[in-house]
Structure formats: C-alpha cells, structure tokens
Amino acid sequence: MNIIVVSRRHGRSRTVTFSALVTMLALGVVSLVTLAVLSIQWIRASEPSIIDIQAVKQWQQRLVSQESELDRTREHTEEQIRALTVKLAELQSRLTRLDALGERLVDVAELDDGEFDFTIPPGVGGPETEAGSYTPPDIVGALDSLSSMIDDREQQLSVLNSLLGDRKIQSATFVAGRPIERGWMSSRYGYRNDPFTGDVAWHDGVDFAGKDGSNIIAVAAGVVTWASERYGYGNMVEINHGNGYVTRYAHAKEVLVNVGDVVKKNDVIALMGSTGRSTGPHTHFEVHHRGRSVDPAEYINRVARF
C-alpha cells in the first residue's frame, strides 16, 4: 500500500509504502474504534427504555400487592359490618324486651304515671364543650345510642326491682291474721282471772282454742329464733319478722321448725296441743314490738298486704 505525503512547507511530496500486514492492522484498529463508538451511542440511546421497563414492572408489582391488601381490608370491613349489624339487631331485641318488662312491672307495682315511663326516651343533657364534634359512622352511632338506652332501662329496672323487692318484703313480713286455721279466741289480751288460781293476773297474749293436733301457722314471714320448750309456755315457737316485730306460739303439741329456719306467711310451724301451763288444747299467741308486748287483736283483725 502506497501513501503520498505532501509537505506544506517545501511543497514537496513523498511516497510512503506500507506492507499488507500493516494495512490490515490499521483497518482493524479503525473498525474497532468505529464499532466501539457506535456501541456506546446505541447503549446511551436504549438505556432510558430499559429503565422505563423495569420501573413499570416494579409499579405493577406494587399495584398487585396494594390490590391484594385492599381486598383483605374490604373483606375485614365487611365482616365487621356484618357483626355490627347482628349486634345492633340483638340490642334492639333486648331493648324491646326490657321496655315490655318495665311497663309490666310498673303496672304490677301500681306506680304513678311518669315515674317510670318506658315509652319515651330518657332525658339527657349537659353543657356544650369547645372541642370539635365527631360524627361516627351510622352503625357505630346506632350501637352507642342503643347501648345508652339499654343502660338507662336496666338502671330503671334495677330501681324498680328494688322497690318491688322492698314492697314484697314489707308485705311478707307484715304481721296480720290469726295463728290458726280453725278455732276460736278463748282468752283476750290484758287483765283476766287466772285459770289456775282465779286471781286477777296479766295476760301477755290471746288464746285460741281448737282441735288437738290442728295446724299452727305463721302470721308473717320471718326467721325462727326459738323452737323448743320454755317455762310456762310448753313447746313454743318464736319468730322474728324484722322491723322490731316478734311473735310467739305456745303450748304446741309438736314443733315442726328449727331455730334459724326462714318461714313464710301461713307456713305450718307447729301442731296445737296443751303443753306447759295449760288447761286444754289451745295456742297462746303473743306479739312483741321493740321488746314490749302489744295487743295481738290489733294485728289479728287488720288486712294483710299483698
């Protein structure tokens, strides 16, 4: 290969001759340089596209993950809503039953109108605060409202039940009536002629004569405080009714209760007999109030409470 070189200074030309090997090496170097330049330019041109594809794939993966999380959240929320709906129905049912029961108890107790009115919402209130108001979801608000109403109804029923319980106890422990089922009053309270001596003596109770072995009954509910023989009384039962009242049933043939027993009104507590200082089958009945004997006739003749 020949190359002519022209000098600008002297205007002369020279011819340089290269061998074939040198020529091929030169062409190879030029080709490699050209290929390298073209490759660099192609990589630079295609790099944004590669980056964009990777970014899209990453966003797609994130989107799929977020969609899965959203599905789980939606499913959990739906389960909570179903549970709240069931709870709401349960609270409404409880409130309906409480209202019906409350109205029935008010009727039974014969309370004044308006004292326990289960047909109207309870009165509530309070000063307004400066804090911003919060509006809960409808279901949550309904649950809170129902829960508050049920709490109010239960409080009313608790007070009403307490009143009814007090009335029931007072009615049960109200001393009234005769201590026997059959028989007649054979001796009254106060001064009388002693059946054994004939002298005037004080009689602390009243006597009811009747058939030997007939039932002796409690005139009110209470707790048995004596259930055995006692001097002068023979076999005797004593009952404490509370509120300072105590009754005694003497000369029994047989005692049917024990100390500590709780008895109700009209329970059979003994059988009529003639034990102790007695002239025949009868029941000696005494009423004591706050430690002093009182005339049983006042309690025998008064109407029992129901």
Phi-psi region of 126 (alpha: psi -120 to 50; beta: other; left: phi over 0): left
**Which among 257, 262, 256, 255 is positioned nearest to 240, based on CA atoms?**
262
Q: Which CATH number fits domain 184-300: 3.40.50.1400, 3.40.50.150, 1.10.10.60, 2.70.70.10?
A: 2.70.70.10
Quick: pLDDT tens for 266-289.
999 999 999 999 999 999 999 999
Contact 216, 249 (CB under 8 A): yes
Q: Read off the pLDDT band of 5 (50, 70, 90).
A: very low
For 115, half-sphere exposure in the C-beta direction (CA atoms, 13 angstrom radius) is 12
Angstrom CA distances, 290 to 97, 177, 240, 241, stand at 44, 20, 11, 11
SS3 content of the chain, % helix, strand, coil (to 5): 40, 25, 30
Calculate what percentage of the chain has a pLDDT beyond 70.
58
Alpha-carbon span 81 to 88, nearest angstrom: 10
Q: What is the pLDDT of residue 77?
A: 76
Alpha-carbon span 228 to 235, nearest angstrom: 5
Quick: pLDDT tens for 80-108.
777 777 777 777 777 776 666 666 666 65
Quick: pLDDT tens for 175-213.
999 999 999 999 999 999 888 888 899 999 999 999 999
Mean pLDDT of the chain: 76
Alpha-carbon span 284 to 263, nearest angstrom: 19
Q: What is the pLDDT of residue 16?
A: 46
Q: Is 59 helix (H, G, I), strand (E, B) or coil?
A: helix
Contact 237, 249 (CB under 8 A): yes
Quick: pLDDT tens for 26-44.
666 666 667 666 666 665 6
Q: What DSSP string runs through 157-168? A: HHHHHHHHHHHH
Q: What is the pLDDT of residue 93?
A: 74
Mean pLDDT, residues 287-292 taken together: 93
Q: What is the pLDDT of residue 269?
A: 97
Alpha-carbon span 41 to 34, nearest angstrom: 11
Q: Is 223 helix (H, G, I), strand (E, B) or coil?
A: strand
